[in-house]
Structure 1
Amino acid sequence: MNPVLKLLAASLLLAPASAQQPVVYTPPTHNLPPPFIAKADGAEVAAYAELGIQIERDRPARDTLAEHRRLSAALNALQPGRRGVVDAYVVAVALDSDPVFGREAREAARVLARRYAAAGRTIVLAGTEGAAPSALPMGSPASLSAALARVAELMDAREDVLVLYLTSHGAPVGIVYNDGDQGYGAIAPTRLWRLLGEVGIANRLLFVSACYSGTFVPMLMSGGTAIVTASAADRTSFGCRADNDWTYFGDALINRALRKPQPLARAAAEARASVAGWERRDRLEPSDPQVSIGRDAERWLAALERNLPPATAPVGRPAVE
């Protein structure tokens, strides 16, 4: 063999494996049925969701410790509200590890934090965006509970507002938690209602981006609550493919309507019309997004929306191309 070729061959054999073959990150996938839940009947699943039961399977101890540190750092970074000012606290949560939800939660947090002047008072709980592991705390029932409790510690419940954005797959019992083949659970409307009541958050703007998400409206609606959901209680919503940048609802409401300096009610009406048009074009059964704005919520919405920032352009690939 030519001496030069022999030297080249030897160098390739000695090169690190990473230099020979770059490691390509693969997002978590859902391959295994959930333990216990898969064998439960409908009534048992509903009971689990109402209790906010979270099941973890075979999660490495070092991953658990790293997650604890990420969540603690994010909660500790939140700033207290300002006395005499109606401050918004934005909590954006992707409860499923499919990258579409991680992307949607991150951009929803950016849009809502800018719209409601919530810099320093925003937390995102989400898995991967698709290209690399997430550096954020994970979205799970437990981390959501901790985030709500921390916000309640910092906010003035008489004047400040929780802005909560939940995105995931949904079911008639509520919104689903699923982290690859390691984490499982669901949050029922009753569970979310109890959580908010337990920590004393009465002023709340809630967005639920999931199939069947209208099931949250009857339980959560109140004088101090504004709630917008991606669908009616008995309908699916669309656009939740793992490789999408947006669901239909997220694209219409967050990426388009709420980027404009217009009131929530008008933005929600615009989003409903956009989603309905996309569904007609694709011959899909209408998802029928739901909107409920309480009378007391109109008061704090007026304060939050008094000085809305200028419009920004949508980002990412449209949910409907």
Structure 2
Amino acid sequence: MTWCVCRWSMGILFSGILLLSGCALTPKDPQALLQSDELLSRQLDTIDAYLNKTSPQQRTVIYVGSAQNSQSLVFQRDVLLLKQRLLEINPNLQTILLSNQLESSQLNYPFATQSSLDMVFKRIGDWSQKRPIHLVTLISTHGNVDLLSVNIGNAYWPAVRSVNIKKWLDVIPHVPSALILSACYSGSFVPPLQGPQRIIMTAAAHNRNSFGCAYHDKNTYFMGNLLGEGWNPDQTWQENHQQMAQKIMALEQKNGLLASSPQIDVPEKFSSQKIKDFVNGRRPE
């Protein structure tokens, strides 16, 4: 299998050291799995408590961030950077964060696995039946065609595929959703996931690698250039995407890399909506 071309040897070395010492926590460890479930339940219960204090007519915006590969910290940095940017727009944003890292004794976040995301989207589906919701989801990881990897402790777990995401989003067809995929070949997810309520942004075309996912990188090229200098929530998704894509193209050309060709699909109804309005839960005009 051809994985995305990334300089992540440092992450593999570090994970190998942990595994040799028997320290890396994974879902195979019942105590680690219990930790993960408790952390996730705590996040979901926090949102429950918030919703119980608000009017049923008040639109709530939820951010789900899933950093799915423990071989690089960059994926967690992506997830946290987007959380920061969204909170700057909407301080009432409700967040659910999952991250696979190389903790040796105590988890900081729930495991980012299919089963965790099943639980998350089931709860979002329940909430959406009772009140209006907007959703922003970021999955950041290594990838392949129709595959978003799940790696914990240098071992692979069932990957997230388009059929999984479609199942999750089909439960909430009426919920305006922005889906952001930062992974190689992530453009392959666009055709099967298109929908009238779904904005989709991907780090690469269906047949291209994306870059900047080494262990020491601050952010992936995609998320770092989307959310860094030039990020403007007063503009539309397309306008921000265009600026980001131009910066990435220049960076890839400078480093002699084949263009990743980030993709975007925006339904007509959201084409003129500013990002800040979406993130504040406003309906498009």
- TM-score, shorter chain, exceeding 0.5: yes
SS of 2:154's equivalent in the other structure is coil
Q: Is 2:32 aligned against 1:59?
A: no
User: 1:8-65, CA deviations, whole angstroms, 9 ceiling, x for partnerless residues?
Assistant: xxxxxxxxxxxxxxxxxx9635999xxxxxxxxxxxxxxxxxxxxxxx9772221111
Alpha-carbon distance, 1:157 to partner:
7.9
Q: Please, which runs of 5 or more residues in structure 1 have no aligned partner?
A: 1-25, 33-55, 309-321
Cα RMSD between the aligned structures?
3.2
Which residue pairs with 1:219 in the alignment? 192
- Bigger relative contact order (CA 8 A; separation at least 6): 2
Q: How far has the Cα of 1:244 moved from its partner? A: 1.3
**Contact kept? 2:102, 2:152, Cα under 8 Å:** no
For the pair shown, the structure with the greater C-alpha radius of gyration is 1
Conserved 8 A contact 1:86-1:303: no
Q: Return closer, same or farther for 1:166/1:302 CA change in 2, 3 Å cut-off.
A: closer
Shift of 1:182: 4.5
Q: How does 1:160-239 map to 2 (within 5 A)?
A: 160-200=133-173, 202-239=175-212
User: Contact 1:99/1:242 (CA < 8 Å) preserved in 2?
Assistant: yes
Aligned to 2:3: none
What's 1:319 paired with?
none
Other-structure match for 1:114: 88
Whichever residue aligns with residue 69 of structure 1, its letter is E
* Structure 2 counterpart of 1:22: none
What is the deviation of 1:136? 1.4
Matched, 1:280 2:253: yes
TM-score norm. by structure 2 comes to 0.79
Give, in angstroms, the shift of residue 189 of structure 1: 1.3
User: What percentage of aligned pairs have identical amino acids?
Assistant: 23
> Alignment partner of 1:70: what SS?
helix
Partners of 1:166 and 1:213 lie apart in 2 by 10
CA spacing shift, 1:191–1:259, aligned 2, 3 Å: same
Task: For 1:305 and 1:286, locate their aligned partners in 2 and report how far apart those are by CA, in whole Å.
Answer: 29
Q: How does 1:264-303 map to 2 (within 5 A)?
A: 264-298=237-271
Evaluate the alpha carbon distance shift between residue 31 and residue 270 of structure 1 in structure 2; reply closer, same or farther with a 3 A threshold: same
Kindly provide the amino acid, as one letter, of the partner of residue 46 in structure 2: A
Residue 186 of structure 2 contacts residue 202 of structure 2 at CA under 8 Å; is this kept in 1?
A: yes
> Contact 2:56 / 2:131 at 8 angstroms: preserved in 1?
no
Structure 2 counterpart of 1:77, which letter? T
Q: 1:216: how far off? A: 1.0
Deviation at 1:130, TM superposition (A): 8.6
2:43 pairs with 1:74: yes
Alpha-carbon distance in structure 1 between the residues aligned to 2:130 and 2:260: 34
TM-superposed deviation, 1:188: 1.3
Q: Any conservation in 2 of the 1:99–1:130 contact (CA below 8 Å)?
A: no
> Given the superposition, is the C-alpha separation of residues 306 and 105 from structure 1 closer, same or farther in structure 2, using an over 3 Å criterion?
closer
- Residue 214 of structure 1, CA deviation: 0.2
Instruction: Find the partner of 1:262 among 217, 235, 247.
Output: 235
The answer to whether structure 1 residue 101 and structure 2 residue 111 are counterparts is no
Distance 1:69 1:131, change over 3 A: closer
User: Once the 2 structures are TM-superposed, how far is the Cα of residue 86 of structure 1 from its aligned partner?
Assistant: 3.9
Mapped to 2, the partners of 1:152 and 1:189 lie a distance apart of 18
The question of whether the paired residues in 2 share the 8 Å contact of 1:208 and 1:230 is answered with yes
Residue 257 of structure 1 and its aligned partner are, at CA, apart by 4.1
Give the TM-score normalised by the residue count of structure 1. 0.71
Give the partner amino acid of 1:102.
Q
- Unaligned stretches of 5+ residues in structure 2: 1-12, 20-24
Residues 212, 220 of structure 2: 8 Å contact kept: yes
